[in-house]
Chains A and B, each alone.
Chain A
Amino acid sequence: MNRFAAEMSEHREELVALDTAIGDGDHGTNMDRGMRKAVEKLSASEQPDAGTALKTVAMALISSVGGAAGPLYGTLFLQMGTALSGHTEIQVSDYAQAWRQGLEGVVARGKAQLGDKTMVDALTPGVEALEAAPDLDGGLRAAAQAAEQGMTSTIALIARKGRASYLGERSQDHQDPGATSTYYLFKSAAEALAG
């Protein structure tokens, strides 16, 4: 989470630029603000297990990000937190299952499908890579790679959800900001594990 917060801070302007092209320019600012709050909350109290930590992050994001990203990332981490409740040690299968539940939560909340040019286009391949992985380390690296490909694949798409969808065909040839921050999430997880 600290790493994801650092990535959001580092890539804030990039996300703002992507969101300016096909949105209203606030994605980077919102994610940076949200993850700072999340990190603050994580350090402020004991996080006895992974589930609690994820829920803490979820609530911090829900109450500080706003927009579409707040509810969507909030739901992602809330679902993951529920799945990993009480876990202090995590097997790769449990971990992949938590991500799958998170993805399902995001899809239920935002109703986006693959190909709509949203975070789901990076999240889905990332989760599938994790589910296919025999171990956590390799799995996270594969997930980050898959998410990166998903992120890049959004460039060619015409947006069918969110603010970008108001632009119709003008949304094409621009990378989706939500898919980009999702890639950074997987990248952070992979790097954090690698230490």
Chain B
Amino acid sequence: MKKLINTPEGVVQDALHGIEAAHGDRVRVSFDPAYVVRIDAPVQGKVGLVSGGGSGHEPMHGGFVGPGMLDAACPGEVFTSPTPDQMLAATKAVSGGAGVIHIVKNYTGDVMNFDMASEMGKSDDIEVETILTNDDVAVEDSLYTAGRRGVGVTVLVEKICGGAAEDHKSLHDVAELGRRVNANGRSMGMALTPCITPASGNPSFELAEDEVEIGIGIHGEPGRFREKVGPASQVAERLMTPILEDLPFSSGDRVLAFVNGMGGTPLIELYVVYAEVAKIAAAHGLTIERNLIGNYITSLEMQGCSITLLKLDDEMLHYWDAPVNTPGMRWGV
């Protein structure tokens, strides 16, 4: 295994040192407990936004800390949920008297650790609301699964809620907006290759030269189906069909189309996929108002992509366009 690291155990710490060195103008890094926080936190009178999750998905979440998006992000070990003490400390650090929102991706570990943080923080007198993201259509939401995973829409929730919070909207309003974004977004992902976590040194699953994995998550776990590789047009169709059917998206809907790279796929390929997504969307009578193309929620070096479609309304659009100044997303400044 060749990686640009020093030691497998030190990856998260070393990366945090890199973030501190690179972005000290916008963020402060706490190493123990580990979290990245906006340098001017707490911003008085503003709802604080905290998210977190395993490392290995950069720029999510640490790269999205700054004005217009997250106030703090808690990084766990690679692909491992962070621990409650991290969320507790981050929550206190961003509390400006208007409450704090936890943006939590629906994974067993993430939910339990954030829950424990909430329980442990009850005495701190900070009002906390939770937004759960669960946009992945690859998994059936049933009694027999851990529920749908939070994937691409998480990035969109963080940006849109970030805009609303910056506008000093209330805790209740920002939380409702975030839940509405989650409820109107659907995602599906696929992989051409597995990824290799520094700790294990081995691929997270095995794929033959001519195989792809459909319905992946973001932690290198196997997906729902293994199929023969085909052209990008086929991949796009394969991912878009369940997305369109699930919400469902109807002719006339205005959408944000997000083609996300899993980390190891070149931008030229993401644009080939986007061209297909645009064709499919047009064929369904959808108007793509905004798009996002690139590596935003990744799985280390995995080759592959995920597609997220968000059905937009005016408020979502307004806060999507609002200025943001973070290492991973920056416009309007």
Contacts and interface: CB of A to CB of B under 8 A. Distances in A.
Interface of A: 16, 20, 22-26, 29-30, 33, 62-72, 74, 109-110, 158, 160-163, 165-168, 170
Contacts of B200: 16, 20, 25-26, 29
Given A26-B78, A168-B145, 6 more contacts: A23-B221, A25-B79, A63-B85, A66-B80, A66-B113, A166-B221
Which of A20, A69, A165, A166 has the most chain B CB within a 10 Å cutoff?
Answer: A166
Instruction: Identify the 4 closest CB pairs spanning chains A and B, nearest first.
Output: A24-B219, A71-B112, A67-B109, A165-B145
B83 A64 contact: yes
Tell me whether chain A's interface is mostly helix, strand or loop, or mixed: helix
Contact of A71 (B33, B109, B197, B224): B109
A166 B204 contact: no
Nearest to A116: B144
Interface string B206-232: 000000000001011111100000000
Which of A20, A67, A68, A162 has the most chain B CB within a 10 Å cutoff?
Answer: A67
Interface of B: 33, 54, 76-85, 107-109, 112-113, 115-116, 138-139, 143-146, 149, 197, 199-200, 202, 204-205, 217, 219-224
Contacts of B107: 163
29 contacts: A24-B197, A24-B204, A25-B199, A25-B204, A26-B77, A30-B80, A62-B84, A65-B83, A66-B54, A66-B113, A67-B80, A67-B113, A68-B109, A70-B81, A71-B112, A71-B113, A158-B144, A160-B144, A160-B145, A161-B108, A163-B108, A163-B221, A165-B144, A166-B138, A166-B139, A166-B221, A166-B224, A167-B221, A170-B224
Contacts of B217: 163, 166
B116 A67 contact: no
B137 to A, nearest CB: 12
Given A71-B116, A166-B224, A66 B83 contact: yes
A29 B77 contact: yes
A18 to B, nearest CB: 12
A163 B80 CA distance: 12
B112 A110 contact: yes
Given A163-B107, A165-B145, A24 B220 contact: yes
A167 B140 CA distance: 10
A20 B145 contact: no
B270 to A, nearest CB: 24
Contacts, number: 116
Contacts of A162: 108, 146
Tell me whether chain B's interface is mostly helix, strand or loop, or mixed: loop
Which of A16, A25, A30, A170 has the most chain B CB within a 10 Å cutoff?
Answer: A25
Contacts of B113: 66-67, 70-71
B289 to A, nearest CB: 31
Contacts of A167: 221-222, 224
A109 B220 contact: no
B147 to A, nearest CB: 8
A24 B112 contact: no
Which of A30, A63, A68, A158 has the most chain B CB within a 10 Å cutoff?
Answer: A68
Contacts of B76: 66-67
A30 B77 contact: yes
A28 to B, nearest CB: 8
A148 B139 CA distance: 31
Which of A23, A26, A72 has the most chain B CB within a 10 Å cutoff?
Answer: A26
A33 to B, nearest CB: 8
Contacts of A161: 108, 146
A22 B223 CA distance: 10
A24 B221 CA distance: 5
B51 to A, nearest CB: 15
Contacts of B202: 20, 25
Contacts of A65: 80, 83
A25 B145 contact: no
Given A20-B200, A168-B224, A68 B144 contact: no
Contacts of B197: 24-26
Contacts of B219: 24, 163
Contact of B145 (A23, A71, A166): A166
B83 A70 contact: yes
A26 B54 CA distance: 11
A93 to B, nearest CB: 30
Contacts of A62: 83-85, 116
Nearest to A24: B219
A175 to B, nearest CB: 16
Contacts of B199: 16, 25-26, 29
